[in-house]
Amino acid sequence: MMLANGGVLGLMHKDLPQPMRPAAASWRIATLLFAGGSILFAAQGLNPPGYTLVLANGLVMFGLTGYLRALRQFYGLQDQLWVVVPAVLGTLALFWLTLVSADAGGRILVVSAVWSVLMVASIVLLISQERRDGARSRRVMAALFTAVAVFVMFRAGYYIALGVNPAFSVLGAGAWMNVATPMVAATLPVIGTTAFLLMCSERIRRQWERAASTDYLTGLPNRRTLVEMGEQRFDHARTSAPAGGFALAVVDIDHFKRINDEHGHEMGDVALKHVAARLQSACRGAELPARQGGEEFVVLFDHLTPQNAHAAGERLRNAVAQMPFVAGELVLPLTVSIGVAVLVQGDTSFDSVLRRADEALYAAKAAGRNRVEVAA
């Protein structure tokens, strides 16, 4: 099953997005190492038992190291030397305890310690990604590592209580534990590989959802998201008691065509990013800035009254006007004109509020630009 899962992951490798491929490759190699160790354990009666035990345990420990490395790569963390240290030290210790001192109890403690360190590191990493990655598959993976880690610690305690001696045989006293160990350990490469593929699948789905709802240039919500959120907030404001509080501002960059004509469209794109960042920095709480299209943005407000509508618009205008656009040696003062509309009784839809804010924007343009007008 381990070999089959590793093979399936290999077949799917090229179908994964480029950023996920290093993690998938590490996970596949780790699964194959795990499988190799398992094969050696199964065939230890056909080979010199001392060398076979060292090599088999070493492959499994490096397999667990590979899983930790794959998870770190999946979450964009850089490779670090400490990740391989437990497996290296564990393999050297096993060599001594198996071929030199023949200490079965020490060998079991070393293997349990290395397994525990590597799995606890994987658990901590998975738990630390809770805010960034709410996928259920990540929780399944963390639970899987936790279950195996608990079993390994219990196994070590069981053998310590049993009093393992140098003549200990895996087929003698405590044999039931030796049957249970590979069955439990195999859940990592078998079930774990399925969970890892689900983690990849869920990330791809989230990326597509984000791409469908986000403006590719500025990173702000796009028009589709703006309309969805605007309609939701409009309906909530209409049905809540007391009604009202919903408002929006239409923001347009002044003389943007001149930037494109004089400095090129690439510089215009950078200017759009600059304004988007300034608007985002000026928003508070649940206020939502979005790109409507071209050089036009919309900001959704909650709990905004007609009395403070102008001040909210001025906050946005000042955020752009007070920080000039700088790109290399080019320094351009940018300004925006803003039209603000607050929900009134005559508004029947989100579009009607947007239309009134648009009219206020045209009034601001006509009055000289770099100013805020509030719709009547």
DSSP codes, 253-315: ETTHHHHHHHH-HHHHHHHHHHHHHHHHHH--TT-EEEEEETTEEEEEESS--HHHHHHHHHH
pLDDT at site 159: 78
Q: Which of 211, 242, 258 is the endpoint of a domain?
A: 211
Q: Are residues 155 and 239 in the same domain?
A: no
CB 201 within 8 A of CB 321: no
CB 27 within 8 A of CB 9: yes
pLDDT at site 252: 96
Return per-residue pLDDT of the chain as tens, 376 residues: 888 888 888 888 888 888 899 999 999 999 999 999 888 887 776 767 678 888 989 999 999 999 999 999 999 999 999 999 999 999 999 999 888 887 777 888 899 999 999 999 999 999 999 888 888 999 999 999 999 999 999 988 887 777 655 445 544 555 677 778 778 888 888 899 989 999 999 999 888 888 888 998 999 999 999 999 999 999 988 887 565 689 999 999 999 999 999 989 999 999 999 999 999 999 998 899 999 999 999 999 988 888 899 999 999 999 999 998 888 888 889 999 999 999 988 889 999 999 999 999 999 999 999 999 999 8
**Residue 295 a catalytic site member:** yes
Q: Are residues 264 and 331 in the same domain?
A: yes
Distances (CA, A) of 279 to 71, 145, 258, 312, 318: 36, 43, 21, 12, 10
Q: Are residues 144 and 91 in the same domain?
A: yes
Domain contains 270:
yes
Domain contains 177:
yes
Distances (CA, A) of 7 to 4, 144, 302, 314: 5, 21, 53, 60
Q: Are residues 69 and 33 in the same domain?
A: yes
Domain contains 319:
yes
Domain contains 187:
yes
One-letter amino acid at 60 equals V
List the catalytic residue out of 295, 314, 359, 373.
295
Domain contains 216:
no
Residue-number span of the structural domain to which 282 is assigned: 223-374
Q: Which of 184, 211, 238 is the endpoint of a domain?
A: 211
Domain contains 106:
yes
Q: Are residues 275 and 164 in the same domain?
A: no
Domain contains 324:
yes
Domain contains 218:
no
Q: Are residues 254 and 294 in the same domain?
A: yes
**CATH number of the domain residue 245 falls in:** 3.30.70.270
How many independent structural domains does the chain possess? 2
Q: Are residues 170 and 134 in the same domain?
A: yes
Q: Are residues 155 and 228 in the same domain?
A: no
Q: Are residues 132 and 234 in the same domain?
A: no
Q: Are residues 171 and 248 in the same domain?
A: no
Q: Are residues 293 and 181 in the same domain?
A: no
pLDDT at site 300: 96
pLDDT at site 247: 94
Q: Which of 185, 211, 237 is the endpoint of a domain?
A: 211
Pairing of strands 372-374, 296-301: unpaired
Helices (H), the chain: 2-12, 21-42, 49-74, 85-99, 104-128, 136-162, 175-185, 187-213, 223-239, 256-263, 265-282, 306-321, 350-366
Q: Are residues 36 and 82 in the same domain?
A: yes
CB 243 within 8 A of CB 175: no
